[in-house]
Homo-oligomer: A and B are copies of this chain.
Amino acid sequence: MTPSATTALSDADFATAIEDRYYEDYLPGAVYVYGSITMTEDDILRFAGEFDPQHIHTDPRFAEHGPFKGLIASGWHTCAVMMRLYADHYISKVASLASPGIDELRWVRPVRPGDSLAIRTTVQQARVSRSKPDRGLVHTGIEVLNQRGETVVTMSAMNLLLRRRPAGE
């Protein structure tokens, strides 16, 4: 179940609200933590039935004897839940133009029914576009963490964001 309200999990957060956040607000080195979303067995079965019908994601009995000794979430489901937290808390609601893509996506630990997921985002680098100087490209390291603080997924995301316009421009 994706809840309607998730939250920042530490005191560290952007100085600007997500409705007034621009390229310049993504400062390399900044680290923020947001969560959490709990994945139920029903959630896992529903997502996998539609998008990833492999036995380890759709059949709890089969999965008991499979490589993970139990049902695990589709890796793409975990990415989708990551995106929910990223959209709720991290990526600007006014300045985001597009994401060119993701590098080094790694599923490092299984996600099981009942696991509660949070994300830790680290601004890795930011640079203004040479061809379109009204925007910049931000690279963000994302770790998805479970309720024990273990890393379950890592990746590096790119986002194109508008720059803040100075007053009078």
Is A11 an interface residue, CB under 8 A from the partner? no
Given contacts A76-B76, A106-B100, contact A50 B2 (CB under 8 A): yes
Is A83 an interface residue, CB under 8 A from the partner? yes
Which residues does chain B contribute within 8 Å of A84, judged by CB atoms? 50-53
- A54 partner, pick from B50, B91, B107, beta carbons under 8 A: B91
Which residues does chain B contribute within 8 Å of A67, judged by CB atoms? 97-98
Is A105 an interface residue, CB under 8 A from the partner? yes
CA distance A53 to B84 in the complex (A): 7
Which residues does chain B contribute within 8 Å of A52, judged by CB atoms? 80, 83-84, 87
Is A96 an interface residue, CB under 8 A from the partner? yes
Interface residues on A, range: 20 to 34
Instruction: Give A77-98 interface residues, CB cut-off 8 Å to B.
Output: 79-81, 83-84, 87-88, 91, 93, 96-98
Is A74 an interface residue, CB under 8 A from the partner? yes
- A103 partner, pick from B51, B75, B105, beta carbons under 8 A: B105
Is A102 an interface residue, CB under 8 A from the partner? yes
Q: Given A54-B91, A68-B98, list of 8 further CB < 8 A pairs?
A: A54-B93, A75-B99, A76-B83, A79-B79, A80-B80, A102-B105, A103-B103, A103-B105
A-B contact pairs, 16 of them (CB 8 A): A50-B80, A51-B83, A52-B84, A54-B93, A54-B96, A55-B93, A67-B97, A75-B99, A76-B83, A79-B79, A80-B80, A98-B107, A101-B106, A101-B107, A103-B103, A103-B105
